[in-house]
Amino acid sequence: MKINVLQAKKAIGNEQTFEFVTSAEELAIEGESPWKSSVIHVEGKLINNGRVIAVEGVISANAQYQCSCCLEDFSAKMEIPFSDNYQQSSDEAIDDEADLAYYTGDEIDIADLVRESLILAEPLKSVCGETCLGLCPHCGINLNTAQCDCQGKLIDPRLAVLQKLLK
């Protein structure tokens, strides 16, 4: 995912758009990934700001998840923004404190930026919908598709003695 920045480097304020279609395999995303079977579409622009070249854009992909509540598989359309500033690397001392990425020559490789953005966009807990009821804790039936005959409030037998106080 290399972008030729020769045109953008000619003058301050120059803009250049880019667009890529890739896959999780090409980005070397390892392990269980919701993007495995998805086409990943990357589009954005880069702007020459003088000292740095600002790269910003959006990653579009369909992610395949398993709901954390009801365990059903579902697909979610993701729009993930990304941005970074790139500076041409030189023999001068590099400021480690600066929030910059470096490039050499006339090409910027944004594969690492896209990979990082995809990985960071993965939710810790994926839920198929805001109204997901999950599974019944007693019989295990999916409460989104059927109702169970379990009692609504089964009490822990160790606390059953306290139930008598409520009567």
74 and 42 in contact (C-beta within 8 Å)? no
For the chain of 167 residues, list the mean pLDDT of each consecutive stretch of 10. Answer: 82 89 78 77 92 92 91 92 88 61 86 89 90 88 88 72 77
Q: Round to whole Å and give the CA distance between 154 and 165.
A: 16
Q: What is the torsion angle, in degrees rounded to the nearest 10, for the CA atoms of residue 135, residue 139, residue 143 and residue 146?
A: 150
Q: Round to whole Å and give the CA distance between 128 and 67.
A: 5
- H/E element holding 124? none
pLDDT of residue 70: 92
pLDDT of residue 42: 94
- Strand pairing class (73-88; 101-103): parallel
For the chain, strand residue ranges (E) read: 2-4, 15-23, 39-48, 53-66, 73-88, 101-103, 107-109
| pTM score of the predicted model | 0.76
pLDDT of residue 154: 67
Neighbours of 27 (CB within 10 A): 20
Q: Round to whole Å and give the CA distance between 116 and 114.
A: 5
